[in-house]
């Protein structure tokens, strides 16, 4: 693997991905956007599957308000250079290596034929919170970064204005790392093929909290067939991480009234994380 400059790298994967490009690692990540009418019905009936992963029930608790509008979960806001102290486990290098593997992946012919590049994920390798979306769209495909289009802007607002933390303090990735043609849902086989990359990413970052954005993320991560309307509003568990599922930002753009429930979900997540509500 290529040796990376210590001075130019920092905690935030978005910056170190740029170094990768300079180091010759191409096709690293890509992007998309608002996925039309892709979301399945949000209020389909409940089944026995529900109890399998659910741990606590809604309604979301109400955390106390706090003054600071935006704070990082951990670490300073300006990214420090990577050193043995700042990256004791060498997570940046591990993610770099994994991303290079993803860039070479050709397991899904329909996705490979359609992609500009793979979209690995961006964020803090030491993030306590990881957001998982569905798959890159057109804009993400072009830029190589997740959630950089319209729904990405809403996600940024949810994280920064809603939760009061920096987007750069979390890690963001998707169930599949290539753009599905015409922004269709990823097929089950495609999600399964990409799963080892998702699990390897989570094993490196070891997030304590995961937020699944939409039905594709929630059902695939938790091996559930429930609609998102039945999975949201409670805390699930995955490999030791607490998981909160909520509506996909693209769905929220199409259905603004659902933002109320999404905000309840974020409050539930914040309560689990011990975060107070930002001042409004």
| Contacting residues toward ligand URA, per CB under 6 A | 31-33, 35, 133-137, 140, 146-147, 151-152, 174, 250
Smallest gap from residue 117 Cβ to ligand URA (A): 13
Q: Which residue is nearest to ligand URA (CB)?
A: 133
Query: Would you say 30 or 53 has its CB closer to ligand URA?
Result: 30
Smallest gap from residue 147 Cβ to ligand URA (A): 4
Counting runs of H as helices and runs of E as strands, what totals does the chain give? 11, 8
Query: Would you say 135 or 207 has its CB closer to ligand URA?
Result: 135
Smallest gap from residue 263 Cβ to ligand URA (A): 19
Query: Would you say 145 or 242 has its CB closer to ligand URA?
Result: 145
Query: Would you say 82 or 131 has its CB closer to ligand URA?
Result: 131
Smallest gap from residue 194 Cβ to ligand URA (A): 13
Smallest gap from residue 53 Cβ to ligand URA (A): 20
Report helix, strand or coil for 32. coil
Query: Would you say 93 or 217 has its CB closer to ligand URA?
Result: 217
């Amino acid at each position: 693997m290529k040796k990376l400059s210590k001075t130019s790298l920092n905690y935030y994967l978005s910056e170190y991905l740029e170094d990768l490009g300079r180091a010759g690692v191409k096709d690293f990540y890509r992007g998309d956007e608002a996925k039309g009418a892709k979301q399945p019905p949000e209020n389909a009936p409940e089944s026995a599957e529900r109890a399998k992963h659910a741990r606590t029930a809604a309604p979301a608790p109400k955390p106390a308000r706090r003054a600071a509008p935006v704070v990082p979960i951990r670490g300073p806001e300006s990214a420090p250079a990577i050193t043995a102290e700042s990256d004791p486990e060498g997570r940046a290098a591990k993610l770099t290596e994994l991303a290079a593997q993803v860039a070479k992946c050709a397991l899904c012919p329909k996705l490979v034929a359609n992609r500009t590049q793979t979209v690995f994920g961006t964020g803090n390798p030491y993030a306590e919170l990881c957001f998982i979306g569905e798959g890159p769209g057109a804009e993400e495909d072009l830029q190589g970064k997740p959630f950089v289009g319209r729904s990405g802007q809403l996600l940024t607002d949810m994280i920064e204005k809603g939760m009061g933390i920096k987007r750069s303090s979390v890690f963001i990735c998707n169930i599949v790392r290539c753009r599905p043609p015409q922004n269709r849902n990823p097929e089950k086989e495609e999600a399964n093929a990409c799963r080892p990359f998702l699990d390897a990413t989570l094993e490196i970052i070891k997030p304590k909290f995961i937020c699944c954005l939409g039905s594709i993320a929630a059902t695939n991560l938790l091996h559930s067939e429930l609609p998102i309307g039945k999975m949201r509003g409670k805390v699930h568990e995955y490999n030791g991480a607490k998981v909160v599922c909520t509506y996909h930002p693209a769905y929220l753009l199409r259905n603004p009234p659902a933002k109320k429930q999404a905000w309840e979900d974020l409050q539930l997540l914040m309560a689990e994380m011990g975060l107070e509500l930002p001042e409004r």
